[in-house]
Structure 1
């Protein structure tokens, strides 16, 4: 569980997020809904202490400095070493969590080995996204945050990724953000929204409700 208490964030005396308190449940898939510029990326950066803020984030009774090695954030544009090939990137970022053979085996579920031997600067946007997904399976974080993870992926990979994320949630606490609502509709457990500069839990067990994120967005955000 991630507990957020009295979180607020301002830039140059302009309040972006007003005092908000909420809990992200353990081993659930939570989705954070809000328009561009509402503060989704800012929230993630504050959770990881990449920016200063007011309030507290507690991960199972610990602060981020105590469990940072159990956290992973996948940004929309995943950073890799462009002049190294895919396998070498995975070995470096994998922090010796898996052997080279194990890494190759995991990676082969996402990308052709011929591609993995090429420099990442030759990869398409979607191929770099797949490389980042391989890294998740290598590192096996306890807390996983993914920003716009479906962008750049083809239909078949999107279909597979839904199942993968659901399987990951058995062992991971997952927070997602994005705008391709059709991708997220049937995998979201808990729905959080940005409204009136505050973050609130709108609904638990959202995917069981039969509602659509598109309709919720129209009702709550627009």
Structure 2
């Protein structure tokens, strides 16, 4: 469980997040919808302790430092070591090196052995995301946070991502953001809308039969 209470964040006296409070349950995929610049990435950075903020954030009643090894995050701009190869970067991203298994990595089929032996500077954006996904699968984190991961991925990799997220949710709390609504529509359990600094939980959004794009137009594009 992830609990956020009265979270506020401003830049140069401009409020980005305003007294956000929410509870996210484990074994679910939670999706935050919002326009570019609405504060989605800022919210994630607050969760990870990468931004100063007002309010409290706890993970199962514990503070971030007590659970950090159980958290894995994938950002759109993935920070990797360009002069190290894929295998070396994966090792660095693991919370426990015993999770490193070249045979299992090969079975995933996301990147070839040849590509994994290449330096990261030769990777495309999609290949960098595949590498981070491999590390996430190996870590099997209690909390998985993914920001715009579907950007730059081909159809085959999106199908693999969909499959792996469905498996990971069995042991993880997954929080995702993005604009690839068609991809997320089939896998998310809970929907939140970030607009004008506030997060709104959309209860039972599936019951109305609305698509994510329709909800986006209703709550965000319309200025509601």
Please indicate the TM-score interval, normalised by the length of the shorter structure.
over 0.9
Cα displacement (A) at 1:188: 0.8
CA contact (8 A) 2:72 2:141 kept: yes
Judging changes above 3 Å, is the alpha-carbon distance between structure 1 residues 188 and 95 closer, same or farther for their aligned structure 2 residues? closer
- Aligned-partner Cα distance in 1 for 2:176–2:99: 29
Match of 1:153 in 2: 153
> Contact 2:141–2:172 at 8 Å: present in 1 too?
yes
Work out the CA distance in 2 between the residues paired with 1:208 and 1:108: 38
Map 1:38-49 → 2, pairs under 5 A: 38-49=38-49
How many residue pairs were aligned? 220
CA distance in 2, matches of 1:138, 1:68: 16
In the alignment, the residues of structure 2 paired with residue 31 and residue 87 of structure 1 have an alpha-carbon distance, to the nearest angstrom, of 30
Q: Give distance in 2, aligned partners of 1:216 and 1:138.
A: 34
In 2, are the aligned partners of 1:185 and 1:207 still within 8 Å (CA)?
no
Q: How far apart, CA to CA, are the structure 2 residues paired with 1:49 and 1:96?
A: 21
1:92 Cα deviation after fit: 2.4
Corresponding residue for residue 25 of structure 2: 25
TM-score by length of 1: 0.93
Q: Which runs of 5+ in 1 are unaligned?
A: none
Q: Which runs of 5+ in 2 are unaligned?
A: none
Per the TM alignment, residue 106 of structure 1 is displaced from its structure 2 partner at its CA by 2.1
Deviation per CA, 1:47-104: give whole Å up to 9, x if none: 111111111111101011111111111000211111111111112222443365x144
**Distance (whole Å) between structure 2 residues aligned to residue 62 and residue 3 of structure 1:** 10
Q: Write out the 4+ residue segments of structure 1 that deviate beyond 6 Å after TM superposition.
A: none
Distance 1:78 1:208, change over 3 A: farther
Q: TM-score, normalising length from structure 2?
A: 0.93
Q: Tell me, yes or no, if the aligned pair for 1:76 and 1:147 is still in contact at 8 Å.
A: yes
Q: How does 1:59-138 map to 2 (within 5 A)?
A: 59-98=59-98, 100=100, 102-109=101-108, 110-138=110-138
Are the aligned partners of 1:97 and 1:139 in contact in 2 as well (CA < 8 Å)? no
